[in-house]
Structure 1
Amino acid sequence: MSMSSAMNASVAGLSANSSRLGTISDNIANASTFGYKRVTTEFDSMVVGSGAGLYTAGGVRASTQRIVDQEGAIVTSSSALDLAMSGRGMLPVTSITDVTNGGTLGMMMTRTGSFAPDANGVLRTANGLVLMGWPTTADGDTGAVSRDTAATLQPIRIDANTPVGDPTTEVSLGLNLPATETRPDGSTAALPLRVEYFGNLGTTESLDIRFTPVQSNPDGMSNTWTVEIDDSQSATNPIATFTVTFDSSQANGGAIQSVVATSGAAYDAASGTIPLTVGGGQIDLFVGTPTSSGGLKQLAAGFSPSNIAKNGSPVGKLVNVELDEQGFLMATYDTGAVKSLYKVPVVDVPNLNGLVAQEGQAFVASPESGGFYLWDSGDGPTGTITGYARESSTTDIAQELTYLITTQRAYSSNAKIIQTVDEMLQETTNIKR
């Protein structure tokens, strides 16, 4: 009968509004929780149908959804490892329990986190979320990595107490050789240049370079020099000898015309480098490309080594770690050296609202969210990773309090209907009396 259906519908209304009250209480309780995503409750009517002249109430059904794709406001902080996403995407994390126990790491994701190294150097939050990334070389190369699985991601570990050396692998020469020395009446003395570099063990080594003019043109300048290189680590010197001929045309006067190696590795004209085999490995020596303005020059001016550059650094201790907008975790040492340790990708899924919420503002993929893909920060559809920042809760207190008032009224009204139905049934019972 209609009275029974009215009571059942009101009971469904009480249950639905109770569910909505639960989401409102969660949202308000987490108004100050960084990275919290508010939950909404949607009501759908249940239609049972109607009989001959009588209406049968169906009631209401409640469904909840966490709005993950809504972005919270970015709040700045004083910690370099307070991280937040600016735009779409999430940070890849795993559980400290999985890291401690070993084995396969569970893949989770979060929008923000306050990360710090623990006693083992693992970069984690206070609630146990461990930041993951791809290990890199000092210049940021990750090598081949998987983008659709977490197989190549590793928990980020920072060893702050171990000294680190960064050997030199590249040396660039920028200098002028006096053109007049290649005349028959020029000086035959070699022009010396010492370039210090850092060895594999952090030692300071040196390349001793000698530029000797070739006076082979009896009528003027030959524009040719012989270059010999000795290495302080090598038992056999010179490690390389080559001849440089400079252009004397109006268009490219003073630029390199050709480089011919007489001992050691061959000259690469495309990159302008000569590979040097030193005592600790290989150093690429940049001398310049043909017709370019960089590297070695020959003009009618004095010998001037004006731009000598090299990479590498002596042994140093870690003083600071920061994550840049490209997702590179950059380490700064007390020697002034800066190098990349890891690259943190940005995780994205087709349906962010289909993610399943976990403890600590973390999420995992589900069939509703679709599979994840690991993008470079700022690439594709994703935003960038921001340091010194946290993402605030998406809860709007004023809106939730408004929902609270309407929910309370709806709950009271459904309870009133039940009371009314009870009174009507009581009247029906009284007819028998």
Structure 2
Amino acid sequence: MGFQQGLSGLNASSKNLDVIGNNVANAGTFGAKSSRAEFADMYAAAMNGTGANNIGIGVNLAAVAQQFTQGNITTTENPLDLAINGAGFFQVADVARDPNAAPNTAPTMDGPPMYTRNGQFKVNRNGYIENNQKQVLLGYVADANGVIAPQQARPIQLPTAGINPQATTGIDLEFNLDSRSAITVPATGGINFNDPTTFNNATSVTLFDAMGQDVAVTYYFQKTAANTWDVYATANGNSLMTNGAGDAMPVATINYPPTSGGNPTAGGGGSIAYYMGGGGTSLDGRIPIDVPATVRPDGSSTLPIAGIQLNMGNSTQYGTTFGVTDLTQNGFAAGQLVGVSIDNSGVIMARFSNGQSRPAGQIELATFRNPQGLQPLGGNIWAATYASGDPTVSTPGSGNMGVLQAGALEESNVDLTAELVNMITAQRAYQANAQTIRTQDQVLQTLVSLR
């Protein structure tokens, strides 16, 4: 039986060296996981045998077990390089590529999702995030407003077509008017926008029409009495409100509480009266503003912007210098995609040339009850099997899912030093098994030589 044991030992040592060699070869492969050859002894025994002194007949390879321990994370300069710190796999899928399909047609998944720890992703010509095997990354897709809702994982596409313009609908203007300022109403009344002695302070904001064209709106603050200020507004130099003679008229009058100078809509004698849209008194500090079509300095015409809500309820009148502490509006011009960033929860933020940022999607991860049951397909890809169980999917950082680190990659978890030591051990085991065959041959030679 010595030949049997020795031969099985040689086969086992050879396979062990194959596994070690594969580990060493993938020591520099991002997302690769090491494997371990696991062996079992063999015995020959009759069914229901009761012998207690059976001699083994060798060894066989019981399994090649994958080791899904965490690899080191190394940083890169590519924002689409992703590393999972913790449990989970990226989900990718092959897609059916129809050469006759219209541009930007959503791809059709060709088969079930597959799984990888290699986060080397890129953007293809259609804006989809894919790996080096041309498999697209799966996750939740954001709608046109950037809202992400949990759904069936689909290929994630970046908004490479850009972002459409949005007309301004709201303005928040927070400022302080100096209560020590002198009354600046000219003797003839009204205001002269070219004469700074006819108003106390001014500030400007850029609005946008439905075509994304910018409209420069300037607000002028004129003190007309103690605690009372008229607010005028111009768009590209033209007053928003005029009388029958074409003279500029205020769009609002602010009365500050005489004893506090604080919020004009919080009571105490304060109020904001507005004159556009039928006029009235604001209860929350918001007044309606309509900007008519105007001509910009370059000669182009802008579209009218109606229904803007100007919020001046947080303004104050204290005995300190004039200052604007907040001036925001919600319109913007059209913009092109200039970059992306991915946070640790997998949300992909698209940055546009107009300064806007909007979620483009969220990456979904998958975990398995028995990851060692996954079937390796090559190319850093695994497939689910009956042994692995069905995947459990969720967003990064939720439950037992790991978190993502953008601009980083997970290195192979192969311990090169340990593998080289294992290689020496396997080589010695191979030599020892060869020696058992040589010894058995010598024993048989001795028996054949008997006279």
Q: Displacement of 1:390 after TM fit?
A: 2.2
Contact 1:90 1:110 in 2 (8 A): yes
> Aligned residue for 1:67?
67
Gaps of 5+ in 1: 216-220, 289-294
Q: Displacement of 1:404 after TM fit?
A: 1.5
Is 1:403 aligned to residue 422 of structure 2?
yes
Contact 1:91 1:109 in 2 (8 A): yes
> Aligned residue for 1:309?
328
Alpha-carbon spacing, 1:361–1:267, altered in 2? closer, same or farther (3 Å) = farther
Alpha-carbon spacing, 1:143–1:321, altered in 2? closer, same or farther (3 Å) = closer
Alpha-carbon spacing, 1:300–1:356, altered in 2? closer, same or farther (3 Å) = same
Q: Displacement of 1:36 after TM fit?
A: 1.1
Contact 2:148 2:359 in 1 (8 A): no
Q: Displacement of 1:347 after TM fit?
A: 1.0
What's the secondary structure of 2:334's corresponding residue?
Answer: strand
> Aligned residue for 2:157?
156
Q: Displacement of 1:38 after TM fit?
A: 0.8
Match for 1:155: what amino acid?
A: I
Instruction: Work out the CA distance in 2 between the residues paired with 1:58 and 1:283.
Output: 88
Among candidates 127, 132, 143, match of residue 138 of structure 2: 132
> Aligned residue for 1:175?
175
> Aligned residue for 1:144?
149
- CA RMSD, Structure 1 to Structure 2 (Å): 4.6
Match for 1:25: what amino acid?
A: G
> Aligned residue for 1:89?
88
Q: Displacement of 1:23 after TM fit?
A: 1.2
Among candidates 339, 343, 347, match of residue 365 of structure 2: 347
Is 1:382 aligned to residue 407 of structure 2?
no
Q: Which residues of 2 match residues 242-321 of structure 1 at below 5 A?
A: 254-258=262-266, 285-288=310-313, 295-299=314-318, 304-321=323-340
Match for 1:156: what amino acid?
A: Q
Match for 1:18: what amino acid?
A: S
> Aligned residue for 2:211?
201
Is 1:41 aligned to residue 37 of structure 2?
yes
Is 1:27 aligned to residue 23 of structure 2?
yes
Alpha-carbon spacing, 1:394–1:419, altered in 2? closer, same or farther (3 Å) = same
Contact 1:77 1:388 in 2 (8 A): yes
Q: Displacement of 1:42 after TM fit?
A: 1.7
Instruction: Work out the CA distance in 1 between the residues paired with 2:118 and 2:281.
Output: 51
Aligned length: 397
Match for 1:201: what amino acid?
A: M
Instruction: Work out the CA distance in 2 between the residues paired with 1:57 and 1:303.
Output: 95
> Aligned residue for 2:379?
360
Q: Displacement of 1:27 after TM fit?
A: 0.7
Superposition TM-score, scaled by structure 1 size: 0.71
Alpha-carbon spacing, 1:224–1:46, altered in 2? closer, same or farther (3 Å) = farther
Q: Displacement of 1:423 after TM fit?
A: 5.1
Contact 2:96 2:108 in 1 (8 A): no
Alpha-carbon spacing, 1:285–1:257, altered in 2? closer, same or farther (3 Å) = closer
Identity of aligned residues (%): 27
Instruction: Work out the CA distance in 1 between the residues paired with 2:25 and 2:309.
Output: 60
Contact 2:128 2:155 in 1 (8 A): no
Answer with 415-424 or 380-389: which moved more: 415-424
Q: Displacement of 1:338 after TM fit?
A: 3.9
Q: Displacement of 1:131 after TM fit?
A: 2.8
> Aligned residue for 2:392?
372
> Aligned residue for 2:104?
none
Q: Displacement of 1:312 after TM fit?
A: 4.3
Match for 1:143: what amino acid?
A: I
What's the secondary structure of 1:393's corresponding residue?
Answer: coil
What's the secondary structure of 2:109's corresponding residue?
Answer: coil
Contact 2:94 2:109 in 1 (8 A): no
What's the secondary structure of 2:433's corresponding residue?
Answer: helix
Alpha-carbon spacing, 1:267–1:52, altered in 2? closer, same or farther (3 Å) = same
Answer with 92-101 or 339-348: which moved more: 92-101
Contact 1:134 1:142 in 2 (8 A): no
Instruction: Work out the CA distance in 2 between the residues paired with 1:365 and 1:243.
Output: 69
Instruction: Work out the CA distance in 1 between the residues paired with 2:52 and 2:164.
Output: 89
What's the secondary structure of 2:421's corresponding residue?
Answer: helix
Q: Displacement of 1:246 after TM fit?
A: 5.2
Among candidates 113, 120, 123, match of residue 114 of structure 1: 120
Contact 2:96 2:109 in 1 (8 A): no
Match for 2:393: what amino acid?
A: Y
Gaps of 5+ in 2: 102-106, 192-198, 243-250, 292-303
Contact 1:180 1:186 in 2 (8 A): no
Alpha-carbon spacing, 1:260–1:304, altered in 2? closer, same or farther (3 Å) = closer
Contact 1:81 1:114 in 2 (8 A): yes
Instruction: Work out the CA distance in 2 between the residues paired with 1:413 and 1:10.
Output: 9
Answer with 361-370 or 27-36: which moved more: 361-370
Contact 1:109 1:347 in 2 (8 A): no
> Aligned residue for 2:247?
none
Is 1:394 aligned to residue 413 of structure 2?
yes
Match for 2:428: what amino acid?
A: R
Contact 1:196 1:207 in 2 (8 A): yes
> Aligned residue for 2:108?
103
1:30-71 residue CA offsets vs partner (Å, 9 max, x unmatched)? 122122111111223345557658523153333111112x22
Alpha-carbon spacing, 1:343–1:207, altered in 2? closer, same or farther (3 Å) = same
